[in-house]
Structure 1
Amino acid sequence: MKIKIVGNLTPEVGVSEKYTVEKVKEAFDTKPVTIVPEQPDSEIKWNIYVKDAKVWRLANVKEKKGQSVTYKFSEISSKAKDVAMIVEAYGKETLIHIKPQPTSNPKITSIELLNVLKKIPTRKFAYGDSIIARVHCVGMELLPIVVTLWENDGDKQKLKTTNLKIDTQKKFVRRGFADVKFYLNPMHVNLANSKVDKGESDEGKYHEYYVTAEILGKEESRKATLDTHVANPDYVEKKLIVKNEIATKPVMEVINSKMMVDLSNSQSWWPFKEDNCGGKYCIKKGDKNELIREINIRLAGFGGNVPTDEFTERTERMIKQFQRDYMKVPETGKICGNVLNAIDEFQRKYPINFDEIKCQCGTCNGYGKGRSHDQYQNSSILEAYRKYEYPGIHRSLVCAYRASVFYINKDKQLNYKTKHIESGYRCHDHYIYRRDHTTNHCGKALDIHYNFLDTNMRASNIRNMNEIRKNIFMKYLGAKQDWNSGKDIFYLESWASTWVHLDVREFSQKYLTEDYFITNNKDLDGKQIVQLAKELQFSNTCLCTGLIANVDNSMDGRVHPSSLTTSSRGIDFIKNWESFKSNLYNDDANGHHCTIGYGHLVHRGPCNGSEPQEFKDGISKERALELFNFRLVEFENAIKRDITVNLHQYEFDALVSLVFNAGANFLNEGGINDGETKIKIKINNSDYSGGADEFSDVTNGGLSGLVKRRKAEIDMFKNNNYNSTH
């Protein structure tokens, strides 16, 4: 008995063909021929060999098994000198020679999503990772394709989709495929969370990303991958009891008999307690103090406000707008703990890149040289003509810009997104200043560029800018145009044709003193507003939080984690242990992961040259702090998600430090068999001391640096001692 392979010897590239092994009766064989196998399919093995030049090699195709199999030959196989198909069956072996034929129908056949090593991933992708999209094609050699990374919000099947386009690249097909690298930028978390599937209140535990590929100019050729799930670092599980309401009413959920939160069309949840303190400790209209000034600055972009220490009607409207648009809670117009916590979160979610703001002249320090100081606060000179180089950029201006980023992310119907600050400070040596003696840009103005959301191309005509000015800055910031509508408001230039110009030129002189001008994020954001409130003797206001349903009123002073953010001491502790590194390095974890700045994870695994150019060039401390503040929210939310008992501030800080170092999912996955850790189990059973002691096992086999850090975190957790010396 012999065996033979039955199938097409000249298959068309990209078309599936079936091949079968059969028994063949020889002349001297008296046994009947049968094609029914006498051995299991698992023992019939098929392989493809390719001859390149004079060398045969095993093709990069998984071995197949069974009496019948299917193969689809790729473009590269049609270029080989020879292709052989070999089968082993019934104790025998045979082969046939295959000559794949070029296709007459150019097309994209499939898309694979691979990790940065171009291997099939063994875990879910995470923010900070790179995805390699490998697009397989036939009949497309050296032809261009368009490959796009999308965040799926439920509109995947449509060509003119409303899903969020993250990045688009054009590539040429070579040897039957094209590899395209996409970076899952942590900065995209806010964008992904700002738009939710129809019928959903938030993005949930995971963001769904997918990749499409199409032949350039032929949208109908588009193919898409299945969704890949990326953990949402901002996700906090909401364990609420649903109250049945009449269907026509807004969706409401009960937290307790006096607390309700409207979850209809919301991205954040800040449960609101209407009479938490009976108004006794809330800051409200008519009050006057330095905390109010700080809030008027930090929320300047919510309706537009000046940095006064008075709680005016503008302040009340500003607080209501912030509660309505960002916090998604009923509007009270009063400042209590939930507002303070939300301000701290808002600042961290929307960091500012001061490298975009600095003067680009190359001769000053980024913010002029203080020239024309004799004109400073000179009331006889109109601000439009004051040549004084202020010592930085105005805080209220930058905070207003931050709010504009929030609003343009929120309003997807406009189809724009912030590209960057194109021009901030321009000193007297700046080439534009020398050509046109503008005084606004000596600390009082920003010029902002925008892209289209769907194409990621630059929005660059006056119609686009007018839409943004009208629907963002005038609507939400209360800005006016061309400096003719009074004092103490933000102004725009109506003639700015390819950019949006925002300035504080018409602020009163008392709001343009030097102490309002800053040069970095530390001075912009200052202390956490909750910490500042406590220092200014507003501790009771901070406790009037409404953030939680089960505030512990017991004598030990612990509160639910959802009302906490990392303290300034906790932040300094983490930064000191991580230490600043301006260049890429591999950390001490088992995977030696690629890291930069204050322990900012660029991607898992060692640095390999695939990192963003920004990181390859090295980053400043300022940029590192932006990355730190942005990612800190992820680790705070991890503790709020995983720890269900009340905590002291220092216990919360110690846990945040631990997961900042070990990973946001560590408490859930760092235990035996990738299960929950003893830290989580013990603390959630109110064994606080026992849970803290378990920190000492998280040292990657006893690395000295981690042993010291764990001891310091245990000391913090147990004794409120923030010791970061090492």
Structure 2
Amino acid sequence: MADLKISGNPNPIVGQAEKYSIEGVLGNSSLEQAILSQKHSTSPFDNQIKWTVHILEKGTWRKAISPDNDKTGATVTYTFFQQSLTRDGIRLKVEANGKSATIDIKTQKAPDAKIVKVELLNDKFQKPTKPFAYGDSIIASVHCVKMEMLPVKVTLWEDDMPKAGHNAANSKVQYGKGNVLNGRVYVKFFLGPNAAKIANLKVAPGKEAEGEGEMHEYYVTAEIFEKNPTRIASANTNVKNPDYKPEAKKQTPAQQKGPSKKEEKGIFDSAGDVLHDYYETSVSVLNEIGENIREKINSLMTVDMGGKKEENVASCGEKYCIKKDDSSELIREINIRLAGFGGNVPTDKFTDRTEKMIKQFQRDYMKVPETGKVCGNVLRSIDEFSNKWVEKISDYTCLCKNVHSITDKCSGFGKGRYNGEYSSSRKIERYHKYERPGIHRSLLWGTSALQFYLSQQNVYKYLWKTAGYRCWDHNRSVPRQSTNHMGKAVDIQFSKNGHNILGSVRSNLPLLHEIFDKFYKKYLQAKYQWIDGKNNFSIEPIGIGEGLTNSWIHLDVREFDNEYLDDKYFVKTQEKVLNGSIVELAKKLGFLNTCMCNSGANNSGTKPKEDAKNDKRIDPKKLKASSKIKLFIKDWEDFKPNLYNDDSEDHHCTIGYGHLVHLGPCNGSEPQEFKNGISKARALELFDLRIVDFERAVQRDVTVPLYQYEFDALISFLFNCGENFFVKKKAPKLHRNLLNKEYEAAAKEFLDVTSGGLGGLVKRRKAENNMFLNNIYDSKH
């Protein structure tokens, strides 16, 4: 009797369905005969052939927790998704007739970015087994491939048309967006109690007399937010209609006539879509954190359909906060990611230094009151900081690649030579000849924080890295004997007020000392010339001569204790630099309540200034662009990686998120960086640098007090029209009304600045007018 075997592709491409079948003789049984004769059709014996998926984690196989992974039948179909690429191992198992077989699966990357599947789940992240009811939540689960961190737009529709499937004539209820993480995006829609009344206002053609019937039908569509391809729709799901009556009573003439214009106002616009301002909305992103349901609860994107607003997260009163004297692998990761906010070693202990570091991060990056404790809002902000400011490991590869005389070049991060060997009788790290396996993560994240702090001003600029890794072959060819650059150091060049600090000249030295004092020492707590450098960042001495830095600043971690220079802290791939989501790690380690808590967001218990109307307008010099206006502008500008001429009258050369390269159309004189196209990360850097100019323009040209949202609306207006728009008297009535404190009249003038009625500008001016008057940040267009 032959053994049971599995036939099928062991190397499936993520997002593509593959069939797997049993092979071999099972024995002289009715089950065998059923399989042989009806292998590719439904058989009453199918439920005796059971398939399961197993995952390897930390050397142990466990059964995957998902109803889609358990199947029955002689032939089954499996689709493996993006997260499978990160698994240590995947095994498909079949059991039948007392025997079993397995096949190990190694998934392959998809060739193209796409949305593969959209499905609807209940609030327990399970497929619904009964109809939804108003007051429930519907969770849209979107499977994607090759789309990590890209935004996805998800829209909830109420199905009004007779046939199933997406129809643009259906009622668009609301939409949200989330960034892809591990191949998934989750969006949560709350079915408010009043939504049923709205659903019953619009019915399928020909069924007006019957009403909506016993069930309302909802579905969602998903699309790549920036590229706007064909929408992918989920199947419909039923929601009980609380107003349904089996025997409809005869309607009065008034009822047959339907709601009056007054009654309809504020509910539907001319296209039949629900107006944005009719609903209360609370929007954030829910990304997949793991397969276990308890691990999937992150900050939720919630759309409240006409009911009471559902809270995103609640304060735990610091009950679940991570704080001083705690210890865990999560704390170690926090100490690494935030190393540049005050300096720290990769310990798993929550020390005094950790507390100071958290406070500095809260004060400088999060802009919230300092608690020194970690709750969900801090974890989410660390992920935000990490994704935006992560260093590129490719910028740190060994310089031996540039030396022609070196024939046997290393792969970028040395060859692992000379571990435990020293160039001196003093066996200290300064003389350790070991070519470390990559760049120390604390050094990388310290440099990330340095770049963040540099972005907050316009005097000193980061130019480039002079050196990251230097293997022994490069050392000998230079020649030099330093071991710091074998994974423990980075050299960076700077400019001041547009002047590049280059060359071995004494005039550079005071400039380098300024940068050290204002950034390295102030924010990273770096020590000069390794003085008191134990377990701190250090820099080489500044000066002219051998062993001194004369046009760059050298930062290293060589004074860390040996336990903090373990090989596990050195990385050479981009994936290991980031090391995944810190929220995901927290959930895997069981910090579920911590992740859900938001108690540190604002200890005063009041809303931040930018989220509520102040009692008094204030001097615009005290205001900065809010996070909401930054998102608003980026939604309008859209990311473009290559040079283009904008829609203004003069068609100025632009790139990224509306970043002005120069006045007038692109003509070939643009910097090479822009000619080659830029990444989204670089576009975000340019955006954050440029937005400061518009803050200053408003502060310079508007001398009367403003609310935050009025200030924001003016920033968006100038970002689109030019920072000197008021100076050049391009909008004299708007500017004059502002200076006369005629705020409503000024807002009205927004609507006239449309370059002769260009459709896109008309919509944007309306949105800016709405923001200026009503504190509504609506970037839909």
State whether TM-score is above 0.5. Answer: no
TM, length-normalised to structure 2: 0.38
